[in-house]
Amino acid sequence: MPLILDGNRVRDRILDELRPRVEALASAARPPGLAVVLAGSHAPSQIYVRNKVKACADLGIYSESVTPPETATTEELVAIVESLNQRPEIDGILVQLPLPPQVDTRRVLLAVSPEKDADGFHPYNVGNLVAGRPGPRACTPAGIMELLRQYEIPVAGKRAVVVGRSDIVGKPMALLLLHAHATVTICHSKTADLPGVCREGQILVAAIGRPAMLTAEYIRPGATVIDVGMNRITDRAGAARIFRGSPERLAALERKGSVLVGDVDPVDVQEKAGAYTPVPGGVGPLTIAMLMANTVASAEAGVGRKPATVVC
């Protein structure tokens, strides 16, 4: 039986390690502070932000949600971010994506002071990542590295294959694996012979956004498979194929009208992998934990007290 990499367990350990650090900051001066900018009424974003605010409250981190309307302009959002940059009690700023279509997302993200960039998306911090310099890292890939570390899965010298080259998951994931001395291949929609390349991976990371796309032919026997995908499906026939032998997941679809599936086939991964992250309960819980970790690290570095740097 493969090892199931339990993201909830790793999340709890990360949060337990942060708790005394938050208490120390709170008793020395003030608790760490995170501001979340949520523009408009995108339903999944509202759920994500609610979960982030709840995680802050559970840990004793001060949080603040700024909720401009769906009609907000780029200038209005930049002004909100700039005012948060100046606030000494705010150590981290997160701009929840996607922003409404009329907004220039790049300009808004660039306005975030790199020191307060809780998501690690600012190009300045991406540069720090490329250069192997300290700085906030993108939360999902950083959480995956923590998961590999806690489960003592060797990375150095291993062949790692990352499917997906997005700025928020695929690219930073590949760089973190590279810095941990894996030999890394990044794949995307134009990769030739994707199954063959994936089968080279002793560590295979799927960050694609295509339900159960990576089937048995993509998985090297015994590989560690990290499934970042979070796809909500509503189609009964598709769910019956993907969750063959899992009547409880099909029942969940009947009950809720949709069911969550990763980018890796959940049955095939059990048969071929040596270790894997389930969906849900694998990578998902790690992202918020690392957001908390980035905020605490910023507070410890005294970010709120320093004048904000803006790199545009």
Tell which one of 99, 118, 148, 208 touches ligand NAP (CB under 6 A).
208
Q: Which of 157, 269, 283 is nearest to 224 (CA)?
A: 269
DSSP string, 208-245: ---TT-B-GGG--TT-EEEE---EEE--HHHHHHHTTT
Q: Please report how close the Cβ of residue 85 comes to ligand NAP at its closest, in angstroms.
A: 25
Q: What number of chain residues touch ligand NAP (CB under 6 A)?
A: 25
According to the binding rule CB under 6 A, does residue 207 interact with ligand NAP?
yes
Q: Please report how close the Cβ of residue 171 comes to ligand NAP at its closest, in angstroms.
A: 9
Distance in Å from the first CA to the final CA of the chain: 50
Stretch of 165-173, 175-183, 233-241, 246-254 contacting ligand NAP, by CB under 6 A = 165-173
Q: Do residues 226 and 182 touch, judged by C-beta distance below 8 A?
A: no
Binding to ligand NAP, residues 214-273 (CB under 6 A): 228-231
> What is the C-alpha separation between 304 and 62, in angstroms, rounded?
13
Instruction: Output the residue with the shortest Cβ distance to ligand NAP.
Output: 166
Nearer to ligand NAP, 120 or 164 (CB): 164
Binding to ligand NAP, residues 171-200 (CB under 6 A): 187-191, 194
Nearer to ligand NAP, 6 or 300 (CB): 6
> What is the C-alpha separation between 73 and 46, in angstroms, rounded?
19
Q: Do residues 202 and 158 touch, judged by C-beta distance below 8 A?
A: yes
Token pair of 209, please?
A: 């956004």
Tell which one of 33, 164, 266, 304 touches ligand NAP (CB under 6 A).
164
CA 81 to mean position of chain CA atoms: 21
Stretch of 19-27, 28-36, 168-176, 269-277 contacting ligand NAP, by CB under 6 A = 168-176
According to the binding rule CB under 6 A, does residue 277 interact with ligand NAP?
no
Active site residues: 52, 96, 119
Q: Please report how close the Cβ of residue 211 comes to ligand NAP at its closest, in angstroms.
A: 9
Q: Please report how close the Cβ of residue 280 comes to ligand NAP at its closest, in angstroms.
A: 9
Q: Please report how close the Cβ of residue 71 comes to ligand NAP at its closest, in angstroms.
A: 25
What is the dihedral sign for C-alpha 188, 190, 195, 198? negative
Residue type, 282: G
DSSP classification of residue 259? E
Stretch of 52-60, 147-155, 164-172, 293-301 contacting ligand NAP, by CB under 6 A = 164-172
> What is the C-alpha separation between 75 and 86, in angstroms, rounded?
17
CA 129 to mean position of chain CA atoms: 15
- List of residues contacting ligand NAP (CB under 6 A): 140, 163-166, 168-170, 187-191, 194, 207-210, 228-231, 283-284, 287
